[in-house]
Structure 1
Amino acid sequence: MAEVPFIAIEGPIGVGKTSLAKKLSARLQFHLLKEIVEENPFLGKFYDDIAEWSFQTEMFFLCNRFKQLEDIDKKYLKQQKPVIADYHISKNMIFASRTLPEDKLEKYRQIYAILTEDMPLPNMLIYLHASLDTLLERIACRGRDIEQNIQPSYLMQLAADYATFMDEFEKMHPEIPVIRIDGDHCDFVQHQDDLEQIFNQVIAHLNKPAATFES
């Protein structure tokens, strides 16, 4: 793990990762790393026809996230500058495992393993989760054109995949604290008290002995 605080926020589409990352970044004065989403030229086609456009979409995300994290590691983490990100590259396998056929998934796994071998792990993870109704409502509210064709069944499967992934992540990395936030009952955008509760949890982990953040 990185020696300097590196917080990643994860969860399914529409749960509020970027909104929370922006608020915590401003509050903590940590560098904000935002994933590239709308710049993906295949994403709109992907939501129209997942089977046809899944490999192109996932490879674009993988290469761009790899480059972003490589730059962040060199320019911030290794320079002792803390970072908060609205994703981590490990999410790629969640999406790829759901959307790619087995032959392409195996090729993707090999490329993913090579690219991420030396990537820094976050030393704190915030996991946002919510019901399908909440996710659909928030996606509708933010009004991204490319997301208007997301099928509820795909979103529901994705949320379930995230839940399974997070359980496995905690077993594999017990040294990395995971803060779980229920988006159905916590609205940190509309309610300051909810944001304060999250902030206090993050501060409590940051204030633990420095050994928590040693590699």
Structure 2
Amino acid sequence: MVEMIGSPDVLASENMEPGCKASLGTPARLSPRPATILGAIDTNVCRQRRYSSSRKIESNKLSQRLGGGKLVIVEGNIGVGKTTLTQKLADDLKYKVFLEPSTDNPFLEKFYADPHKYALKLQLWILRQRYLTYVSALQHIISTGQGVILDRSVYSDCVFASVCHREGFISSDGYQTYQYWRDQSLQHLPLPHVTVFLDARPQLCHDRIHTRARECESGVSLDYLEKLHQEYVKFINEMKSDGSQVLTYDWSTFKDEAIVCEDIRAANRVEWTESDLPTSDLPSLEFPLAEE
């Protein structure tokens, strides 16, 4: 387990949930991009990729391949209860669960030593792991027809990058770089069929964090949780606008997962077309993460 102690561990501790471990994957090789391709900074990075309002109907062949399964992501603030619910939903729905992978993060120690230098590398590394996890989930539902459910996703990674930028750990130039690579990631992926959002006041999430007493979350401040909540509200509105079926629950008290299961089963499935799906030559996306 990778322990995260002291400031500025708010970024790292969130990105290591659950179990306070880093995500699985091999560090990508350096692939520098000219600054001219990035353009002006967009402070609302989650808007970078949008779907057309006129969606094609899924072909019969594609619908047959997917069966009755859906790709579901579970989102919400730190401490709200995502992982517990995700595992229960997977059991009840007979879906395959994809939690954030666990392995040592090659940039964590460097981030602690020099956060302004390594925050971007850390964030890009985690973005890539979330991308790879989403691809694995997508490949599973396409190849087997079994539904999949993810505890957080590549789509919501922008929530944490935005707060990290607001906190000053990622520069404006670095934030442009993040925007570019996030856009490169999402252009190859279809939207999740269903986005489950667990909503609770930041103060309550803060209380839950201290109740479960994970050492790696000891530095998560109420102020940080409030900023994440603000960004999450924007993100959820954008997922609705883009066409994912958003199911929002007041998670101030833990609900019966059976209610959520029924809502997922009844939810309209956002239409995927063959052109939305990744091909066998899906790029590995060699983010600029070379250690210095």
- Among 134, 152, 162, the alignment partner of 1:87 is 152
Listed one character per residue, the Cα deviations across residues 149-200 of structure 1 (whole Å, up to 9, x for unaligned) are: 1121111111111012111221222xx221101111x313xxxxx3332223
The secondary structure found in structure 2 opposite 1:202 is: helix
Matched, 1:128 2:198: yes
- The residue correspondences of 1:72-151 to structure 2 (distance < 5 A) are 72-99=137-164, 100-151=170-221
**Compared CA separation, residues 200 and 9, structure 1 to 2 (3 A):** same
Q: TM-score scaled by structure 1? A: 0.82
Q: Percent identity?
A: 25
Question: What is residue 36 of structure 1 aligned with on the other side?
Answer: 101
Listed one character per residue, the Cα deviations across residues 4-47 of structure 1 (whole Å, up to 9, x for unaligned) are: 41111111111111111100000011000101367545568868
CA RMSD of aligned residues (A): 2.6
Q: TM-score scaled by structure 2? A: 0.62
Question: What is residue 120 of structure 2 aligned with on the other side?
Answer: 55
Matched, 1:179 2:244: no
Question: What is residue 162 of structure 1 aligned with on the other side?
Answer: 232
Structure 2: 5+ residue runs without aligned partners?
A: 1-57, 165-169, 274-292
User: Between Structure 1 and Structure 2, whose CA radius of gyration is higher?
Assistant: 2
Question: What is residue 18 of structure 1 aligned with on the other side?
Answer: 83
The residue identity in structure 2 corresponding to 1:155 is L
Query: Greater CA deviation, 105-114 or 48-57?
Result: 48-57
**Compared CA separation, residues 108 and 49, structure 1 to 2 (3 A):** same
1:201 shift after superposition: 1.9
1:107 shift after superposition: 0.7
Question: What is residue 9 of structure 1 aligned with on the other side?
Answer: 74
1:105 shift after superposition: 0.6
1:80 shift after superposition: 1.7
The CA distance in 1 between the partners of 2:258 and 2:112, in whole Å, is 35
The answer as to whether partners of 1:21 and 1:86 remain within 8 angstroms in 2 is yes
Structure 1: 5+ residue runs without aligned partners?
A: 189-193
